[in-house]
Chain A
Amino acid sequence: MSTDTRADEGGSLLARPLDWLETQSEEVYAYVLLAPAFLLLAVVAFYPLIETFRFSLLADAVASADPFGEFVGFDNYVALLTGDTNFTQQFVSISTTDSFPFVGFDAPFLQQALFVTLAFAILSVLFETLIGFGQALVLDQDFYGRRWVRVSIIIPWAIPIVIQGMIFFLLFNPTIGFGTEFMQWLGVFGDNPLSSSTDSFLIVLVADIWKTTAFMALLILAGLQSIDRGLYDVAKVSGASPWQRFRYITLPLVAPALLVAMLFRTMDAMRIYGLIDSTAGCETVPSLTCLVIIALQESRRWATASAVAFLTAVVISAFVLVYLLALRNSDGGVA
């Protein structure tokens, strides 16, 4: 019979635990099945997170075999936030001949990195929301070839980060790409955009908008399609213009989905690393994650790197809280 128990086929090695499992309550069964997932998460997420925090409370020991020194409490954080931490001369000397990280050349790196990360997150999410809304409105229509338009809008989202980086690296490479020439003609870019902080920031921003707008579009589209079509018919009969239908029906009803999408994108944008690393390089556009890697690899300051990493997590949590509060207010039905 096909519904033989697995215990019969699997031999005694598998049968014993399975038999034991049969006799347990549902609650024990639930915990047993959750064990592998939580084991994996514990090894890769919970334990490292706690360790990162513990490391961040230790002193840097740049020269010794063990990269961590004695316990120093929150000194690393204090040093980072007040700007006393000196990284090796990394990105002071190279870039910042222009005024982009408006905090000034000799400003502490953390401030530069914090500014770059926040500016990037806010600007990219803003543009992605606007353009994504446009794409979602297009995809919400019924037209011939809709499936293929959707495919081509999703494709940038699905490509590897390194290839996204490569496309924009080539596009703005002064010798082969036409991007630099075009932007210079507009009067925006300098001679070698990929080594100037301002220009590179714009390139990274555009690259990110190009790739991830599709994600926003899909989530907003899901929100759009959950709207009762009858509402539009009623509005049409009452003489509402398309703009009014958008303003008074679409926008309020899609707001919860929009906020969730923005929350996801903001979290993701705050982690920006790969795109920067494969186009302009971490020294030119220092994001928070870049700072972790620089502290780790260039100067072997593991404790400082841990502090920056934990600060990044704290900043992201702060954003998440803001969004969750906004969602609660908009009655998004979030538990």
Chain B
Amino acid sequence: MMGKLLTADFLKIKRKGLWFLTLLGPIGVVALQMVNYGVRKDYLLQQSDDDWGYFLLNIHSFTPLAIVLGIAILTSFMASIENETNAWKQLIALPVSKLSVYLSKFTVLAILLFLSSTLLMIFTLSYGLFLNLGEPVPYLELAKFSYFPALAALPILALQLWIASVCHNQGIPITVGIFGVIFAYSSYVLPDWMIWKWPSLMNQWDEPIINVMLGVGIGILLYIVGMIDFARRDVK
């Protein structure tokens, strides 16, 4: 049943700009560094002995913001496909369980998010090689900086999808999304327990993996809570 729902959901996101956004996010993040390194490459290379590491840190300074913003927009688009003409009632009157309907939406968004991360990794690597940052290329670090923020952002995805699919007024998830972006922007001053801080991979122990584990754990938890609430509600 999941496979059928997924192919249907991928068909429904056609012409909605979701694929475009998935592409735009990583391009934007890398493009900012293209400007940065394009203007003052020599100065930036002087800042650190580890040119690749410094480059990755620069890339990473915008990744959390792009992810939080991207998630807010993608979830809202995703929910709007069903909300626009209240197609929820048509979808749920089909022989499918409500849980799998919700899981399918979440899966599509997660796939888009990880596609975006993969693209980020490819673009970062390409531009890094173009800048000639030297050997060896830190592939492991590169993968960490590409996928960790997305994994740490899973709770935000789960929360935004929950709000977007139970609120008929799309102003609410958008508002939450905007606050999320503001929070993500001010990660430095946020306490460690705020989920919007996690994609920045910062915490008091300086261990990014903690954010990833928290992200996956709390992400699953929030997903389950959202799914149960979605299934419990009457379809208007």
A binds B: no
- Residues of A at the B interface (CB closer than 8 Å) are none
